[in-house]
Amino acid sequence: MKYIIANWKMNLGIRESVALARGTLHALQGKEKVPEVVVCPSFTALAEVRKTLSRTRMFLGAQNVGPGRAGAFTGEVGVSQLEDIGCTFAIVGHSERRSLGETDSTIGKKLAGLYETGNITPILCVGESKDVRDAGEAEKFVKKELKDALSGLKIGRRRKLLIAYEPLWAIGTGKPASVLEIVPMQEMIRKVVTDITGVDGADLAVLYGGSVDTENAYGFLREPSIDGLLVGGASLKIHDIHAIIESACEVMTAQESL
């Protein structure tokens, strides 16, 4: 299975979000083998986008989640509320949130909240800065992020976990990481996550994110160790997200016939 996560970030009103969700949905029509496509609108648009997605093969995700199911956390949106609105995925620990001060301990609480009942699959984002990569410390840094977020977490049996490797220097810069940089990192992530959590096989997907576009998506997706893509800027353009989903369909069909 391949995943395409469309992260719309702090963009679009309700009507525009519904239109983009409908447009994205068209990319799946008439196809037999499709990736799991998850659209992540702003909280304000979740309810309306959910209506568009009902009885379709596309999934609803939140861009963030509060630290627990419910409680006295002004301005946060808790796990119960996301379940209520129909989210089945939630992004946790995106670097843009970390840059606003989100700590590893908060990320750990968010993951624990999501696994408490288990209707929402987390998409945990990790990735190093340019300085860390230049110092040759990228793998060490990402390993620590994984340990800090996942150690002690009670995931339970047969629960899914998605990890998105998103180097900070590749996000929104038009300079994606190369397959040669991504693949060893994906392999390390898979091993470390399985060692810490016990989640493996099809329950664990390791994605790549950072300046994914129509030109590079196919090359990433055809790598067996890259289970999918987290797409920011390009997911806001109907033509681009169609082409990216199309690439995933092609790769899945080709891999099936091997």
Of residues 122 and 210, the one with the C-beta less far from ligand PGA: 210
Look up 139 and say whether it is catalytic: no
Residue 91's contacts (CB-CB under 8 Å, 6 or more residues apart) are: 5, 7, 40, 61, 62, 63, 64, 122, 123, 125, 164, 230
> For residues 120 and 79, is the Cβ–Cβ distance under 8 A?
yes
In Å, the largest CA–CA distance within the chain is 53
Q: Is 232 in the site for ligand PGA (CB under 6 A)?
A: yes
Measured distance CA(97)–CA(139) in Å, rounded: 21
For the bound state, the minimum distance from the C-beta of residue 78 to ligand PGA, rounded and expressed in Å, comes to: 23
- Within 10 Å of residue 77's Cβ, how many Cβ atoms? 19
Residues 80-109 that bind ligand PGA (CB under 6 A): none
Compare residues 230 and 245 and give the one whose CB is closer to ligand PGA. 230
- 48, 83, 94, 223: which is the annotated catalytic residue? 94
41 or 209, CB closer to ligand PGA? Answer: 209
216 touches ligand PGA (CB under 6 A): no
Q: Which residue is nearest to ligand PGA (CB)?
A: 232
Which of these is catalytic: 96, 128, 145, 166? 166
Binding to ligand PGA, residues 156-215 (CB under 6 A) = 166, 171-172, 209-212
The residue (of 66 and 210) whose beta carbon lies closer to ligand PGA is 210
Answer for which of 233, 237, 246, 250 binds ligand PGA (CB under 6 A) is: 233
Q: How far is the CB of 170 from ligand PGA (least distance, A)?
A: 6
- Using the rule CB under 6 A, give the single segment among 12-20, 30-38, 114-122, 230-238 that binds ligand PGA: 230-238
Given the rule CB under 6 A, which of 69-77, 106-114, 192-200, 232-240 is the region that contacts ligand PGA?
A: 232-240
- C-beta closer to ligand PGA: residue 118 or 218: 218
239 is catalytic: no
Q: What's the start-to-end Cα distance of the chain, in Å?
A: 15
- Pick one of 231, 248, 251, 252: the residue that binds ligand PGA (CB under 6 A): 231
Q: CA 127 → CA 8, 14, 53, 204, 227, distances in Å?
A: 19, 31, 31, 17, 16
Q: Is 7 one of the binding residues for ligand PGA (CB under 6 A)?
A: yes
Per CB under 6 A, residues contacting ligand PGA are 7, 166, 171-172, 209-212, 230-234
Query: Catalytic positions, please?
Result: 94, 166
